[in-house]
Chain A
Amino acid sequence: MNFIDNPRKIRGFEKHVRVEKVSRRSILKGLGITGGFVLAAPVMSRQALAYETGAGKMPHGVVVDPRVFVSVAPDGIVTIVGHRSEMGTGVRTSLPLIVAEEMEADWSRVKVQQAHGDEVKFGNQDTDGSRSTRHYLMPMRQIGASARTMLEQAAAKRWGVPATEVKTVNHEVVHSASGRKLGFGELAADAAKESVPSIEGLKLKDPKDFRYLGKGQVGIVDLHDITTGKARYGADVRLPGMKYAVIARPPVTGGKLVSFDPEAALKVPGVEKVMKVQGWPWPSKFQPLGGVAVIARNTGAAIKGRDALKLVWDDGPNGKYDSVAYRKELEEASRKPGLVLRKEGDADAALKGADKVIVGEYYIPHLAHVSMEPPVAVADVKGDKADIWAPVQSPGGTRDDVAKTLGIPEGNVTVNVTLLGGGFGRKSKCDFALEAALLSKELGAPVKVQWTREDDIRNGFLHTVSAERIEAGLDKSGKVIAWRHRSVAPSIASTFAAGTVHQAPFEIGMGLVDMPFEIANISCENPEAAAHTRIGWFRSVSNIPRAFAVQSMVSEIAQATGRDQKETLLALIGSPRIVKPEVKDLWNYGEPQDSYPIDTARLRKVVELVAEKGEWGRQVPKGHGLGIAVHRSFVSYIATIVEVAVDDKGKLTVPRVDTAIDCGTYVNPERIASQIEGAAIMGLSLAKYGEISFKDGKVQQKNFDDFQVVRMDDSPVVTNVYIVPPGPDTPPSGVGEPGVPPFAPALINAIFAATGKRIRSLPIGKQLEA
């Protein structure tokens, strides 16, 4: 017996909400591409919350029903559903842990069950935007408290005592007055019959009684399986009779197959079939690019068969895409006025009248996600039913897209979410699952589509390429009186709508128009840029180029005025206050400004904390240097100090990294530390090596030899993480992404301190040599 009887019955308060441009999928509505996307989303009662989040505005909103998320078996084992995708952040542990906390369940008697993609049942499942803890801390507490209340009601009835006299302690309900106790298992059947309590009446635990939340002593649920090879990723799914496929896709975005010769491929031992894969014209969101699939009895044969294919492509409109020429275009555009997005005072006049103007032009190329598990999916399509197994960040969106692509009802599609071998935004696009579905339908057999690393690098949804130009005007005293920031980059929206030339609100809100400095004259502009390849979300998104530009400029101002980097930074941040940029429809990561304002007191605090703990200003050996940077993203505040060492040959090493994060109320500090440690590696990777470039429309890199990432021998020797203790009602904020943006500028500022060389173009590559 368990609590799951009719999960559709209770959805809390329902009301229609306007879908805003806050998620991967709702962007479609915002851009006017699909119609009829009105959602009935349950919205939590305001009274029950100490703060409001944007959770209710996500597609399908939030479901707060213990019968959907919790079941109790007669042996007392509590099963808690994890409805978000696990890609390394620890969310599959953290959210169920919150439920267990409120429920007073003993974690050693809890099992976690992964939800399949069903947003009507579970609420929004898009695991992106550093949203999971932010949106689900309170709902998971409410679910746990509801389950506990139902167990208590059942026990009170059995004993014939008022429910107020019983309480739950560590997997048992107890009646202290009589000394009676009942275990969760003994109460399961009766508790399932209890009505679900209203959210308003729920009694949440006093945080001082927390056993798990905020403690960080619980390992991730998959730890043992991961270390023994039993953990099942998308790539590990095997079905009886399953075929293995790899696909040759157009080498240029928007290209098409002209002809192919399968003969040599079919001679490869193990190859069974060669077939065309349906493609969609560019841009078409996440729909497959099309091409030719080689079907074989194992992946190795399929790869060998694909190598033997003879293919003729029409490269289409992007066949001339060339990164060297495109960079010039972007930089020239950044030197001319663009669409003004934020205007305060008169930046033009103030720059003209300034005693000194510092100009910084910063460039960051395209980047590829290269999650260790390349895209992969298994599909079994039979008639009008489709079963999918895939490492997707968007189980609900994948279900929608598979249904639409196959032309079958959504209810006939089951998306089984496996573990993700890394995501970083790549796996929020389900193109690989759609390919598997199309092939399975045509073959009439289960199929696994495996992307090779070369496919991943050449046919992905890349991080944009940016030219960021900042002009800072200083008065005689060295105070910054004018700030003009022009950001030029092809938008993610170009993957959804042809002809897109301006960045979307969710991109300009990432470090451009939300710039927090106390400056009288500000102009933030966005000149036009057209895309020539598929652009997608990459961990931290536009915050990467913006933090790099803004925080490099801070160091350039410090240099020009002969002041300390940290003091210059604090002077620019200015007084503790709430920043309210004069921007129409200011995007705030989908969160209400009331709960998540731009708070410079918190920004200052992380700078001061990291400076204290990271010993800013300490003596470092010759050839070493310290750099600092701070950035607010995903409504969290993060500051980083990097120590570099550059030897006389220009070899760069990183002896130490210190990072302070204020992510509000938090669940698992141990996983926060791991995210920040990893963010330093990803930040170092992109700064040192990260570059995807195009020539004749084609990506020039192919694998980890020419698209390098940091390895252990050049990773930071030590990364220290400091978490700001939250105030009593501080809402939770993002952790997965905010760690990356400040890293590159802190590194670059440290390199300047060590060598006097100012790097404005990433990657660093060979710039420090000679």
Chain B
Amino acid sequence: MDKNRSFEIKVGLAEMLKGGVIMDVMNADQAKIAEDAGAVAVMALERIPALIRKEGGIARASDPQMIKDIQSTVSIPVMAKVRIGHFAEAQILEALEVDFIDESEVLTPADEHNHIWKHDYNVPFVCGCRNLGEALRRIGEGAALIRTKGEAGSGNIVEAVRHMRQVQSDMKKLTIMNQDELMAASKNMGAPFELVQQVANSGKLPVPNFAAGGIATPADASLMMQLGAETVFVGSGIFMSDDPSPRAKAIVDSVTYYKDSKKMVDVSMGLDSAMKGIDMSEIPEGERLQERGW
């Protein structure tokens, strides 16, 4: 398959995940709970972000055995994370045939200057962003799916909202620019010119645009969908709560019925406590996961 065809197939899988919920899981049992609750995919990782935050240490790609156990337990796509720039971890995940690789700021970065050249892989990649420039740099490197970074493991939606609004507003600005302003825009946001032109013409990203980082309730999921997300990732929000299975189901419903406020009442009712969460002022600058990557 030539390179363009291969990229189309990668984006194709991202299209199939739209209108769904991708859930972080740490073992096969959790993966089963996620699948039974209606998740469109699971993200296999050793420690969910809230635990990484609590326990500290270096966060690396997961044990292949754990990923294999999850692959043999569920029929939905299995994703897994690699450290930013750690292309050897990515090679291992590709050999494991994971369905999507997340080059993620949640793990400790392996390279402070370069992200992985993702066009070299047959497995699609998803990457986080805080603004349009960052999104287009990742797409330029071959990412087939973009998500907001938010602030993983915080249980606080404020950063995901900031990043989604920023991407949307950056895109709107491009659509009203004249042709002769686009080169300067490309320079200022540090994004490939061809992709800047494409967004200026279409008004949207050339790949699907999902939300992640701090989603803890059905209302959080609805908020992100209404702000333009096409699917949501829920990391710590499910398995750090007191009621993983009903909460997972409720968030799945909320992504389908996000515009129907009466239905949102039904799905939000009767859940136990959500994860506690952290105010952003309690996370010192320099310890924010979203600052990893460029």
Answer yes or no: are A and B bound together in one complex: no
